[in-house]
Amino acid sequence: MTSTQGLQDSDLANYFLENAGGSTKGPYEDVSLHQISTSLGLAMPKAAPIDFSFNPMPGSSTPKSDVPAMTLERNRISARDSRRRKKQYLELLEEKVAQLTEDIDITRMEHLDTADKTITAVKAQMITSLYEKLAPLPPNAPLPADVEDELGQVAQLLKDRYGPNSEVRLT
C-alpha cells in the first residue's frame, strides 16, 4: 500500500465518521478530504441527492418508452392465462363428452334389452293366439281361408313391426 493510498483511506474513513457523528481521532484530524483531493489533483464528485421515496403507482413514474413494453408484458400474461383457461375448459368439455357418450351407450343397451323383451313377449302372444285358433282344426287338414289370411297378416306384421329393419328396432 502506498502512502497516498493510506492517506486517502484514512481520510475517507474520517469523512464518513464525521458525517455519521462518530469520533475522528487519528493522525490526520486537521486535514480534510477536500484538501487532500485538491492537492492530489483529483476533483471531488458532487453528491447527488438519493431519492428513497416509494412510488406506489407502478405506471406513474415509468418513462414513456417503458409503457408499451409493460403493456405488451401484461398482454402476454393475459393471453397465457386465457390459453390456460381455454385448455382447462376444453379438457372439461372432453371429459363431459366422454361421460355423456358412456351414458348414451348404457341407456341404448338398456333400451335394446327392454325392446327385445317387449318384442319377444308380443311375438309370443301373437303365436299363442294363432295356436289357439289352429288347435280345434284337425292336423294336416287344409286351413280355412280366413285363418290362412290371418296367418299371413300376422307373419307380415311380425316382419314389418319387429323385423331387423323395423321402426321398433331402429329407434
SS3 per residue for the chain: CCHHHHHHHHHHHHHHHHHHCCCCCCCCCCCCHHHHHHHCCCCCCCCCCCCCCCCCCCCCCCCCCHHHHHHHHHHHHHHHHHHHHHHHHHHHHHHHHHHHHHHHHHHHHHHHHHHHHHHHHHHHHHHHHHHHHHCCCCCCCCCCHHHHHHHHHHHHHHHHHHCCCCHHHHC
Q: Give the model's pLDDT for residue 108.
A: 92
pTM of the model: 0.42
Q: Give the model's pLDDT for residue 59.
A: 52
Q: Give the model's pLDDT for residue 93.
A: 95
Q: Give the model's pLDDT for residue 101.
A: 96
- Residues of the chain where predicted confidence (pLDDT) is lower than 70: 1-63, 168-171
Q: Give the model's pLDDT for residue 1.
A: 47
Q: Give the model's pLDDT for residue 65.
A: 75
